[in-house]
Amino acid sequence: MPTVRDVRAKSGEEPITMLTAYDAPTAEIVDEADVDVILVGDSVGNTSLGYETTLPVTVEDLARHVGAVSRSTEDALVVADMPFLSIGVDEADSIENAGRMLKDEGAHAVKLECGQHTVSLTERMVQLGIPVMAHLGLTPQHVNQYGGYPRQGTDQDGAERILELARAHENAGAFSLVLEHVPSNLAADVTDALDIPTIGIGAGPDCDGQVLVVDDVVGLSAWSPSFSKQFGTVRREMESAIDEYVSAVESGSFPAPEHSHEADDLEDLY
């Protein structure tokens, strides 16, 4: 069984690889590629559920996708991202929502978009046996505060706040930290300051690992952020396959004789 200890042990030896996945076939492919950590991100709201932000994603939505991913994963650590307002409002509810991802859906850990309010919550969850991946820098659930998705930690105060919160979450027992869209020199400093591994997205090369949204990596997304990189052309592949299917049906070349059969013993029904 994959554990958070494996992730901690790998850091410092080799870069940690992490990707999102939301469904069974994608999880299978990501797992077979030996990716260390699969994040069932609340980015599922953008990638798969047709929302403009992650805010409408519910615990039910996330749980459904976590179940699909964990049923299809053998080796990777499966991390469930906690949706907007599913944690932080009330401690008991937060723990119930997070615990459910492990108890019922097969996740091994949860990820929390962090702030001052998640320090004691992280400590409580870890005490109870729910491993926590912290997430600092750009936290997209704050889109209404930011008015968009700007880079974080770009001035001294902002950078110090991120470093302090990173230390606080390490002390509270988080097993790793995602740093999103922060200057690479800040990410390098935070990585140096912590014992737990940092996993960057738009945070430069000096983190202990990297994470991206799988739809962006394979080239399925219609749009992807500038800090992402497209390693494939899945959207184009799908477009051309679907175009060919439509043409084949319209021209009558599909289905061909081999795609159906007649029953010899049937008599005409009229």
The region, left, alpha or beta by phi > 0 then psi within -120 to 50, assigned to residue 167 is: alpha
Q: Where are the beta strands (DSSP E) in the chain?
A: 16-20, 37-40, 77-81, 109-113, 132-137, 176-180, 198-201, 209-212
Binding mask 69-108 for Na ion (x = CB under 5 A): ------------x---------------------------
Candidates 34-42, 114-122, 160-168, 215-223; binding stretch for ligand KIV (CB under 6 A): 34-42
Q: Between residue 203 and residue 232, which ones bind ligand KIV under the rule CB under 6 A?
A: 211, 213
Q: Locate 262 and state its tokens.
A: 């007649």
Give CA–CA dist 217/17, Å, rounded: 13
Candidates 9-17, 25-33, 39-47, 237-245; binding stretch for ligand KIV (CB under 6 A): 39-47
Tell me which residue of 118, 45, 124, 44 sits closest to 87, measured CA to CA: 118
* Residue 259: CA count within 13 A, CB half-sphere: 7
Name which of 82 and 121 has its Cβ closer to ligand KIV: 82
Give CA–CA dist 101/130, Å, rounded: 10
Residues 6+ apart with CB under 8 A from 108: 1, 2, 3, 4, 77, 78, 79, 102, 131
Contact between 42 and ligand KIV by CB under 6 A: the answer reads: yes
Determine whether the annotation assigns residue 43 to a binding site.
Answer: yes
Candidates 42-50, 116-124, 236-244, 246-254; binding stretch for Na ion (CB under 5 A): 42-50
Task: Answer with the entry of ligand KIV, Na ion, none that 178 interacts with (C-beta below 5 to 8 A by kind).
Answer: ligand KIV
Tell me which residue of 97, 26, 108, 19 sits closest to 61, measured CA to CA: 97
* Of positions 27, 30, 31, 42, contacts Na ion by CB under 5 A: 42
Active-site residue list: 180
SS3 label, residue 123? helix
Contact between 20 and ligand KIV by CB under 6 A: the answer reads: yes
Q: Which residue is nearest to ligand KIV (CB)?
A: 41
* Of positions 162, 174, 178, 187, contacts ligand KIV by CB under 6 A: 178
Count the helices and strands in the chain (H runs, E runs). 11, 8
Q: What are the residues binding Na ion (CB under 5 A)?
A: 41-42, 81
Q: What are the residues binding ligand KIV (CB under 6 A)?
A: 20, 39, 41-43, 81, 178, 180, 201, 211, 213
Binding positions for 3-methyl-2-oxobutanoate: 42-43, 81, 111
